[in-house]
Amino acid sequence: MEQITIRSYKARDYQGVRDICCATGLLGEPVGKIFSDGEIFADLFTKYYTDVEPESAFVIENQGKIVGYVLGCLDSRKFGKYFLVKLLPQIIPKIIWRYFTKYSLQEKKWVRRVALDRIKGSFNSPPRPAHLHIDLLKEYRGRKVGKILINKFFQYMRDKGVDKIYGGVWSFDHKKTKHLYRKLGFQICAYQPSNIFKDILKKKVYALELMRDLTREEWKIK
């Protein structure tokens, strides 16, 4: 029997959030299919939110297990500074060591692609947007709990004085994805083909940048 709770992130949720990040990191599927180093992957995509700005994070819990989350950042400049000054110096030595001693040829290729993607920048948001990062386990997608979670997060952001919030998403089908997010009230700021999974996944992948205006009278996702 489900006992679903949507609540603010707590320190005890740390590993649960990291596990979901890895379980959904490959366009909603487990990232382990192409990259087995869950420690590095979770550090890259969750560590800022859990370690620096946990007050802007919310989770879905079912019977004591974390099954979804939305992680937020009020000022992306702070995120960028942390990423460059603190996070990268911590993980680059690990990546270099594992690149030459542990990673498969496919993993090495993907690491190079990610590094190039970071240098070039897939998403070109304004210099000071708030942003979000959301993931749910497959069986909880398309359900009411996801809408409740993100509406709770939007209310938090509105209370903090945020008028617009940005997010980035990778998708196999940019037309379908654009239609889906427009139905949810997002604007598509930009999209372009991404080479991050080239020769690794059979389908072409697109990078989309999304924006949600929180000043509108009907700001909730219905």
Quote the CA–CA distance of 69 and 91 in Å, as a whole number: 24
Whether 106 has a pLDDT exceeding 70, the answer reads yes
What pLDDT digit, counting tens, does each position of 125-139 carry?
555 689 999 999 999
- Residue 15 clears pLDDT 70, i.e. is over it: yes
pLDDT tens per residue, range 33-73 = 999 999 999 999 999 999 999 999 999 999 999 999 999 99
Give 218's pLDDT tier (boundaries 50, 70, 90): confident
Q: In whole angstroms, give the CA distance from residue 140 to residue 59.
A: 12
Quick one: average pLDDT of 105-110?
A: 92
First to last CA, the chain: 26
The residue extents of the domains of the chain are 4-162
For residues 22 and 37, give the distance between their C-alpha atoms in angstroms, rounded to a whole number: 9
Q: What is the pLDDT confidence band of residue 113, given thresholds at 50, 70 and 90?
A: confident
**pLDDT band at residue 124, thresholds of 50, 70 and 90?**
low
Model pLDDT, residue 170: 87
Strand ranges of the sheet holding 130-136, from the earlier edge strand across to the other edge: 4-8, 57-62, 65-73, 130-136, 164-171, 205-213, 186-194
- Is the pLDDT at 108 greater than 90? The verdict is yes
Cα-flanking dihedrals φ and ψ of residue 68, to 5°? -170, 160
- Structural domain 4-162, CATH architecture: 3-Layer(aba) Sandwich (3.40)
Q: Is the pLDDT of residue 211 over 70?
A: yes
The tally of CA atoms less than 13 A away on the side-chain side of residue 191 is 20
